[in-house]
């Protein structure tokens, strides 16, 4: 059974500190960071416009797998996904792009299953699920899309596969696979990445959150932390609880050079840390959820992160209170935006 609901959630608005100065063809050593030359404090600041509602899709008797790829300075990307249990109930492709002007951009994308059993490239026109501010790359704004895929894109055998994402030629930016911090052009679309979510069959209830969440920015953490709270729909199965987040523009620092105490984000859910560095016991994933790990070491800038959060108390009724802050408690400089969350419980 499938149904879609909308609920009001508490979202903390932040302030984006990004401007638009850019010299075409020059490197951007601090791109994606509020230290970039495009990130200037103006008297008139852009405040994040966060929708008061998050759209929920609920799928029962299910489980899911999620994976992604970065697309900056590329015309294609590869998604390797594992852990899918057939038969397919739903397949969703998410993607994000920074637009050079106030006009829409990046609304369509190509996808092909490469393995097993190759199919043909098919173009999908996305549904706009959110817009966001520039993430310190001198763009005008960010746009996030999703497309529901036909059953023919399910893995025909096994529990995963390899998929190739393609950017339409009319929407491409730089395509030479160069380092984004050494080669950037804000007069062209700057693609962030794409993520595939396959919902299969199992014993859990899946909650998918995207509209209203997509494009919510958090810049210069931890003042204030990015926080939202939602009530989950469904009865806990008693099995493992899994949570995934899809995020745009994460990085380790400048290109492959980490910068201490500036990109040390932590995620806590219901008061329990689930990812990021810590001085306490390493009972969680100690890597940040915002390091661009979908395509590491380069181009970074896109994350599809999944955690077993069974140790987190969901309460009754089950709910999530998600907060992003930093270990150093000094201002972080990563300009990042969230795209979607998926929870199985």
Three-state SS across 257-284? EECCCCCCEEEEECCEEEECCCCCCCCC
Which of 94, 35, 136 shows the shortest CA–CA distance to 246?
94
Domain boundaries, given as residue ranges, for the chain: 2-22+30-344
Take residue 344 and report the two structure tokens written for it: 């199985």
10 Å CB burial of residue 170 (0-12, 13-18, 19+) is: exposed
Whether the CB-CB separation of 81 and 154 falls below 8 Å is answered with no
Here the tokens at position 295 are 């395509």
Residues found in the chain: 345
DSSP letter string over 22-35?
--TT---TTTTBTT
Tokens encoding 180 = 């984004």
Q: Name the DSSP letter for residue 202.
A: S
263-272, pLDDT tens digit by residue?
788 899 999 9
Structure tokens at 166: 């393609």
d(CA 174, CA 185): 7
Backbone angles phi, psi at 192, to 5 degrees: -90, -60
Of 39, 50, 43, 40, the closest CA to residue 14 belongs to: 50
Q: What share of the chain is helix, strand, coil (3-state, %, to 5)?
A: 5, 45, 55
> Rounded CA gap, 39 and 137, in Å?
8
User: What is the bridge-based pairing of β-strands 302-308 and 257-258?
Assistant: unpaired
Instruction: Say how many C-beta atoms besides its own lie within 10 A of residue 112's C-beta.
Output: 16
> CA-CA-CA-CA torsion for 214, 218, 219, 225, nearest 10 degrees?
180
pLDDT at residue 2 in the model: 40
Write down the number of H helices and E strands in the chain. Answer: 0, 24
Structure token pair of residue 257: 């050079």
Contact between 290 and 250 under an 8 Å Cβ cutoff? The reply is yes
The 3-class secondary structure across the chain, one letter per residue, is: CEEEEEEECEECCCEECCCCCCCCCCCCCCCCECCCCCCCCCCCCEECCCCCEEEEEEEEEEEEEEEEEECCCCCEEEEEEECCCCCCCEEEEEEEEEECCCCCCCCEEEEEEEECCCCCCEEEECEEEEEECCCCCCCCEEEEEEEECCHHHCCCCCCEEEEEEECCHHHCCCCCCCCCCCCCCCCCCEEEEEEEEEEEECCEEEEEECCCCCCCEECCCCCCCEEEEEECCCCCCCCCCEEEEEEECCCCEECCEECCCCCCEEEEECCEEEECCCCCCCCCECCCCCCCHHHCCCCCCEEEEEEECCCCCCCCCCEEEEEEEECCCCCCCECEEEEEEEEEC
Run means of pLDDT, 10 residues per run, the chain, 345 residues:
35 27 59 73 34 75 98 98 96 98 97 93 96 92 97 90 97 96 96 98 96 75 68 89 97 88 86 86 80 97 97 93 81 81 97
- Is this structure's pTM higher than 0.85? yes
């Amino acid at each position: 059974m499938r149904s879609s609901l909308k609920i009001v959630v508490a979202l903390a608005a932040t302030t984006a500190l990004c401007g638009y100065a850019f010299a075409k063809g020059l490197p951007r050593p601090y791109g994606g960071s509020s230290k970039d030359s495009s990130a200037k404090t103006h008297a008139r600041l852009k405040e994040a416009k966060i929708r008061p509602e998050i759209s929920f899709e609920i799928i029962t008797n299910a489980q899911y797998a999620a994976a992604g790829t970065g697309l900056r300075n590329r015309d294609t990307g590869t998604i390797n996904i594992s852990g899918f249990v057939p038969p397919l109930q739903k397949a969703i492709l998410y993607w994000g792009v920074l637009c050079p002007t106030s006009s829409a951009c990046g609304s369509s994308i190509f996808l092909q299953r490469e393995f097993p059993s190759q199919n043909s490239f098919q173009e999908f026109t996305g549904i706009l699920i959110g817009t966001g501010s520039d993430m310190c790359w001198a763009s005008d704004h960010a746009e996030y899309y999703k497309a529901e895929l036909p059953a023919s894109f399910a893995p025909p055998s096994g529990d995963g596969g390899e998929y190739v994402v393609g950017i339409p030629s009319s929407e491409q930016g730089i395509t030479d696979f160069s380092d984004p911090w050494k080669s950037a052009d804000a007069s062209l679309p700057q693609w962030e990445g794409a993520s595939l979510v396959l919902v299969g069959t199992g014993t859990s209830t899946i909650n998918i959150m995207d509209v209203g969440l997509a494009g919510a920015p958090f810049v210069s953490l931890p003042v204030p932390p990015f926080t939202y709270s939602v009530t989950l729909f469904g009865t806990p199965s008693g099995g493992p609880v899994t949570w995934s987040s899809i995020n745009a523009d994460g990085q380790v620092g400048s290109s492959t050079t980490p910068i201490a105490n500036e990109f040390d984000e932590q995620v806590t859910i219901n008061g329990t840390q689930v990812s990021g560095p810590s001085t306490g016991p390493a009972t969680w994933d100690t890597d940040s959820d915002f390091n661009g790990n979908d395509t590491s070491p380069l181009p970074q800038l896109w994350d599809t992160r999944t955690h077993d959060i069974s140790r987190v108390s969901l309460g009754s009724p089950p709910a999530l209170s998600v907060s992003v802050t930093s270990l150093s408690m000094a201002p972080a400089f990563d300009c990042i935006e969230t795209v979607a969350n998926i929870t199985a419980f």
